[in-house]
Chain A
Amino acid sequence: MLKGFGGRQLRINLSTGEIRTSPLDPTFARKWLGGRGFVAKILYDEVPRNADPFGPENRLVVTPGVFSGNFGPSGSKCSFGAVSPLSNGEGDSTVGGHFGPELKFAGYDLIVFQGISPKPVYLFIDDDRVELRDASAYWGQGTMETEAALKRDLGEDFEIAAVGPAAENRVVFACIGHDYGRQAGRCGVGAVMGGKRLKAIAVRGTRSTPLHDLPTLKELTLRIIKRTAQHPNMAPWQKYGTAMFVGWSNEHGVYPTHNFQTTYFDRYAGIDGGPLVERILVTNKACFGCWMNCGKYSKVQIEGKDTVYVEGPEYETGSLCGGNCGFDQIEQVAYVNWLCDTVGIDTMTGGNIIAFAMECYEKGLITRKQLEGHELRWGNLEDVEHFIRMVVERRGIGEYFARGYQAAAAYIGGGAERYTCQVKGQGMSGYDGRGAPAMLLAYMTADIGAHHNRAWTITMDEDLGKDVIRGKAKVVVHLQHIRPLFDTISSCRLFWGEIDVTDQEHIDAIKLMTGWDDFTLEEAMRLSERIWNLNRAHFLERNGGPGRKFDYPNARFYEEAVPSGPAKGARLTLADLDVMLDEYYAARGWGLDGNPSREVLEDLGLEDVATNLERAGLLGQLSAPLPPVRGEKYKPKAF
């Protein structure tokens, strides 16, 4: 019997309404582990390479991993995956809260949706009872409104994941909302869900998860709880959460400001963690089983506006919807946060898209007439609210932004692509890479586009030198394996990154949950590398090659120097980026064209993938012998 997992999977064809339940294959579970691993494998195997991300053949994969709902360090996560309408490659995004654990308690490790429902539906799960139900009463409602309505109609003890109007209208950066303000935000997974006319998933589970050795797991977890409660990072994380990094990023010259025009926002003091806690905080709000409780729930009162409640702003929102859009008051940032959450757009790519439009307006590339008589000024709430409505309702020029960067830049013209701060269609996270070259490399090479959860390197960049280009790629590769591993096991990486729960402790917990006595960190890291290569191959098979041509950011990041702040003068050239890419591909065992080699794929047990790439003419040639281990661990000397 499979231990540590719910043990079952659901296959749902939304076109026909067919629902199939079957046991989870233990060999599959061990090989791909759950979360991001299940997503990568299923999408690679099942979605035809020419399938439209919004077509019936795309899959929406929902998967809590082995930690989810378990008694280990922070088992709250659930992955949502689909071929992304942003990148046209594998996309996955995790959400914390209580949804993943509840699915697990209902006994499910995996739900795979295919097809498109003829009418709006939601999936109802109450342990063994699984039904597609009419969602027409909820269609058109915001994510939080839908959650409240479903809880009212079904019971407070159901956990809900829902999409908003943006997803219904297939805005490509639409997200999935849960727990009144948490999101699976990235990759447009919400857009795929809305495109399938799946409004929500409501789940209640009452089963106990079978475990291999709970007494020892209990000892381990209680020991970790006791130790980490005293960790010096615990108190600031509990008090401020991620919002405290608004100040930090400014002081370190990496804070995106006015659509990444510069990396220091001189009015950041009004939107840092301090004002959040002092002016708008209602309560701390934790994910399932997490004793760090970094989430913040806020009440926002602005004259002339309805009072709104929102979880956040988290750092990424506080940067990308904050200084990046010119907002200098925490209430304004929180209000934009709420706007995005309620219509259901990712505050990260969403914040980026708003800032991109603002810069285009500033430079006269889009006009007041195109904005239906409105303006789009930095830091103006009315302007932003109107613009968001235009995008979500796909009105006028909003239609092009709703389709993503490429469509918007092409429509606007005048060299607008220079201002699209993204890689592979995914808006950058809240760190500017010009004063942190490895961070830029991490964005350039991330499988899903410019997202920091794959690798975050700012402290290493500072440690080794902000202008140092060489020697960092191996560390990026290592981080791209270890950090996404937490999305694979469905645990929060902040426990590892911030309060020193070790990688080995996570592995020990998995062994106690599953009974896989021979499971090792090396196996987990190899799995993470296997997923990485599989996703790269998937991307290439869908988009063609060479891979290298997709791995560049917009020209701002290699042609413009940072004009102000602590990183003033920092600049990278295209040649710098090429040096980093060359090192990176070599460290991965890929060809210099950015295509994986047969050698590395075979080493990872992906012989079939190598054959597929070879047939498509997309196999890379090694320029040096394959490194026996890809990536190198780096311990920062200073923080």
Chain B
Amino acid sequence: MRIQVTAEACSGCRLCRQVCVVEKFGEVNPRKARLRIEARFPVPGRYVPHVCDQCGDCAEACPTEAIVQRADGVYEVQPELCTACGVCIDVCPEGVMVKGPDDIPFKCDFCWRCTEVCNTGALVRVE
């Protein structure tokens, strides 16, 4: 289970970021999105989506073991164990963990809203 990224297909619309925040925070503010689109412009002119692949680096780095893996492979933050130290945000290799209210980090939980709205084939749900 993963989000398959085809960077060549991405047109940089950021609808994925928009829907992510609408879904997870009930807000319109793409800066809180749990994925990001890197724009390499003016040269070579490419968009590169960065998404969570549930690599577990965040869980490994967490000093309080507040990030645990579910049976389906998704890593989840347990807010009650989190001290908001921010280490997980720093170590995320894709740079897709974000601070939420009270500095508690949020991460992708494979809700698939981004793959549902992506109309270019750049983000595709793969079981």
Residues of A within 8 A of B (CB): 69-71, 98, 105, 144, 147-148, 156, 179-180, 206-209, 211, 214-215, 218, 222, 225, 229, 234, 238, 282-293, 295, 297, 299, 309
Contact = CB atoms under 8 A, between A and B. Distances in A.
A312 to B, nearest CB: 12
A288 B22 contact: no
B14 A283 contact: no
B119 A225 contact: yes
13 contacts: A71-B18, A180-B42, A206-B31, A208-B28, A209-B28, A214-B22, A214-B26, A222-B19, A222-B116, A286-B13, A291-B15, A293-B120, A309-B43
Given A225-B117, A225-B119, A309-B43, A285 B11 contact: yes
Contact of A206 (B13, B29, B44, B46): B29
A218 B22 contact: yes
B120 A156 contact: no
Contacts of A293: 11, 13, 119-120
Contacts of B14: 98, 288-289
Interface range on chain B (Cβ under 8 Å from partner):
20 to 34
Interface in B50-74: none
Chain A to chain B: the 6 pairs with minimum beta-carbon distance, closest first: A286-B13, A293-B11, A291-B119, A208-B29, A284-B11, A286-B11
B11 to A, nearest CB: 4
A285 B15 contact: no
B41 A289 contact: no
Given A180-B41, A234-B119, 19 more contacts: A70-B28, A71-B28, A147-B42, A156-B39, A208-B27, A208-B32, A214-B26, A218-B22, A222-B19, A229-B119, A283-B45, A283-B47, A285-B12, A288-B14, A289-B13, A293-B120, A295-B11, A299-B44, A299-B45
A206 B119 CA distance: 26
Nearest to B7: A283
A156 B95 CA distance: 15
B103 interface: no
Contacts of A218: 22-23
A510 to B, nearest CB: 14
B90 interface: no
A449 B22 CA distance: 40
Contacts of A285: 11-12, 45
A290 B26 contact: no
Contacts of A208: 25, 27-29, 32
A225 B28 CA distance: 17
A284 B42 contact: no
B13 A287 contact: yes
A283 B45 CA distance: 7
Contacts of B39: 156
Interface in B1-41: 8, 10-15, 18-19, 22-23, 25-32, 39, 41
A52 to B, nearest CB: 35
B99 to A, nearest CB: 11
Given A156-B39, A206-B29, A208-B27, A222 B117 contact: yes
Contacts of A288: 13-14
Contacts of B12: 283, 285-286
A148 B43 CA distance: 10
Nearest to B41: A180
